[in-house]
Every structure is written in C-alpha cells, then in structure tokens.
Structure 1
Amino acid sequence: MMTDLHVVPARRGRAVRLAKGQAIQIINTHGQQVVDTWCFNADDMSEFMSMEHLHATLQGIFPATGDGLTTNRRRPILILEEDTSPGRHDTVIAACDVHRYAALGCTQYHDNCTDNLRAALGHLDLRTADCPAPLNLWMNIPVSPDGKITWGEPLSKPGDHVTLRAALDCIVVMSTCPQDMIPINGAACTPTEVHYRLIA
C-alpha cells in the first residue's frame, strides 16, 4: 500500500521513520535535482549508512538495483529495490556545508545539506554529532581513469524515482541540495522540490 505524496521543498530537508520492511519512494519530480540521502538505525544513531563501508561491499562506487546499502557496522540498512533512472548516483562527495560555500566565494550564509540534515532530525527530536557522507541520489560525478572528477549534470529525467526498502527500523533523511553555483542540479543551477511516498 502506498501513502499520499509528500514534498521535500527546494533547498530543505525532511526526515522519515521507516519500520523494517517498509519502503520509501523518492521521486525526482523535475528530473534534475540531487537529493543527499542518509539513513540511521532508529535504535542507535551511531549506526548509519556509510559510503566508505559501501564501497568495500560493492567493490565499486555506484550502487545498483538489488544492492544492500551498508552501515558502518557492515550490514544492510536499506535495499535499493527499484531505480527508474540511468542509475548514476554519487557515493564519493561529502554533503555541502558552510565551509564549502565559503570556498566557492560566498560571503553570507548559504543553505546547505549538512544543516538540512540537522534541522530535519531536529523535527524528530533527534541529533547526530557528525554528518556522514551521504548517498547523493542522481548526482553525476564522472570519474576519469586517472582518478580526476568532474561536476556533471544529472542524467535523470522528470518523474524518475528510486525505492529504498528498510532492512532495519531506521530514519531516512533527504535534503534537496541547495547547490546553485555549479551545475550538479542541472545547467540552470536552480534547486527544485522533490516528492516522496511510503510503501508498506
């Protein structure tokens, strides 16, 4: 059974509780929006989806349909059950923060995914001491044979979605990345809202 659609506004974050066996479908409504995504064990916030540990599990950097997304204790917390996009999601780049925008030349506060994570968790009266590296849904970071990266535009199209099923009781946090200085949210550099629904 699917619930109604919910929105994650542009440049903001949302946190959702999932029971083991439930799933969340995250929809790239306009097709070009990156969604920084985290997942924490609902019973122990010190266990979280970890990109460093995922690389060892996958022996690669791009998760595919059917893959378990592992925690810092090396067990699946989410299963990537469905992906209608070309499957290019980033597991290398840290969440943006005030320091990143300062390095890009911002002299005033800029919305950022790290603060969105903390704000979203705060609405559930939860907190995390650190910001784990996120699964950057639809973020296209091509890696060349010499290890250099480039900031690509998303390959996804409007309405593409991923379905993530909980392997543990967990908290999923989504941030519609506010990056508007380089084209990771498309050539227009304009962050947009995305939608999500829960699936029993």
Structure 2
Amino acid sequence: MSGLTAVPARRGKAARMRAGQTIKIVNTHGTQVLDTWAFRSDDLHEFMSMEHTRPQIGKIIPAVGDALRSNKRTPMLTWLEDSSPGIHDTLVAACDTHRYRHFGIKDYHDNCTDNLHAAMRELGLTPPEVPCPLNMWMNIPVGADHKIAFLPTVAKRGDHVLLRAEMDLIMAFSACPMDVTPINGPGGDIRDCHFQIS
C-alpha cells in the first residue's frame, strides 16, 4: 500500500514520532488485532499505560477526543478519528510464551511480547518492560457477570484510527499471532496491518 508501512503478519514494527505528528493505523484486512504501545522517546520508562488511561477517561475503551495517558498520567496520544465500530481492548496483556504454554503449546509460538522486543531492537532500543498494550480492534466484552469473552473483531476491511502525538514518541506494534482464541477470526488467519506517520 503506497505510503504506508507494514506491520507484517505475526511480527512487530516500531517507528519514531515527533510531537504534533499524526499516525493513521489501518486494519488492512478487517480481521486483525494490533497490539499497540507508545514510549516517551527520551525516557522509555515513561510509556502509554492502560491502567492510568482508564480512570482518566472513565471507561475501558477509548474513543475520539480521549487522551491516552502515560504511567505518569501525562497525555501521550490524542484519539482523533475511528472509522471502525470503536471496539478495542485495554484489559488484556500482550501474549507471550507462557500464554501459549497454558494452551498446551509446547513448541515456540510467535507472540506479541517477543514482537515488541524485536521491533524496538530494529531501532537500537530495549523496552524496560512490556506494558499492557492498547489492543486495537480486539473484542473483549465484559458481561453482566463480570466475565470476559474473547470474540472476533468487528472491524471492517480498511478501518482506521488516527492518533496525534503529544510528545516525541516511539510507537510499536505487533500484528497479534493469536490463533488459539478467535480474536483474529474463527479461522485464526493472521494478517498484516499498516500505518502512516505524517
């Protein structure tokens, strides 16, 4: 896709953003969950925090107009557009080797935690920890009984989100390789996503 950077299926990608720039994040095929992180570029110990964002916005899913906060409660990104139905997740940690072992998978399985490290390594950086990501387009409803469900995304092909950086950032993504639960569709087909910084 012209002008867009790919987050390859099952892999991660990171990029630098300056304050005031926008990033358009595209669910290219309409079925893919994209784990999303942001780190302050001059201090990676300050990062986008779902735990700190939720009480500030008063809900579990951010929407247009909301500020995504850091672990110091500072606005990092402002949500400007969302062409999808607006279903995203702020509750579930990035998948890792331990998660897949709980599913009985003994061999190595691609995972978002390793994808974050690999993506940051391409920029010569090491994340100090793996914060809970903003799971773009992930459908994790909370029922009246307080239980959560893992359902396929309701996004459509080409749906996008537009965010504005409020500080210089490192953005990082993982095209989530989860193929055990149906979050990426009942067939478990993992696809690429794209983004564009301007």
Normalising TM by the smaller chain, what interval? over 0.9
Q: In structure 2, what residue type is equivalent to 1:8?
A: V
Aligned pairs, number? 197
Question: What is the letter of the counterpart of residue 11 of structure 1?
Answer: R
Query: What secondary structure is seen at the aligned counterpart in 2 of 1:158?
Result: coil
Q: Structure 2: which 5+ residue stretches go unaligned?
A: none
State whether structure 2 residue 27 is matched by structure 1 residue 23. no
On the 8 A contact 2:139/2:183 being kept in 1, the answer is yes
Residue in 2 aligned with 1:179?
Answer: 178
Q: Give the residue type in structure 2 aligned to 1:189.
A: G
1:4-46 deviation digits (Å, cap 9, x = unpaired): 1111110000001000000111100100100000000001000
Partner of 1:31, secondary structure, is coil
* In 1: Cα distance, 2:183 partner to 2:107 partner: 21
> What's the offset of the Cα at 1:129?
2.5
Aligned to 1:52: 51
In the alignment, the residues of structure 2 paired with residue 104 and residue 49 of structure 1 have an alpha-carbon distance, to the nearest angstrom, of 28
Query: 1:80, 1:98 → 2: CA distance?
Result: 31
Shift in Å at residue 128 of structure 1? 1.6
Matched, 1:36 2:32: no
Structure 1 unaligned spans of 5+: none
Provide the rounded CA distance (Å) in 1 between the counterparts of 2:5 and 2:36. Answer: 16
Quick one: distance in 2 between partners of 1:59 and 1:8? Answer: 30
User: Is 1:154 matched with 2:129?
Assistant: no
1:80 pairs with 2:83: no
Equivalence for 2:107:
108
CA distance in 1, matches of 2:54, 2:80: 18
Cα distance in 2 between the residues matched to 1:81 and 1:42: 21
* Cα drift, residue 75 of structure 1: 1.2
Identity %: 52
Give the TM-score, by structure 1 length.
0.97
Per the alignment, residue 89 of structure 1 pairs with 88
Q: Indicate conservation of the 8 Å contact 2:44/2:128, yes or no.
A: no
Q: Deviations over 1:53-105 (max 9, x none)?
A: 01110111010011000000001101111100010100000000000000011
Find runs of 4+ consecutive structure 1 residues off by over 6 angstroms: none
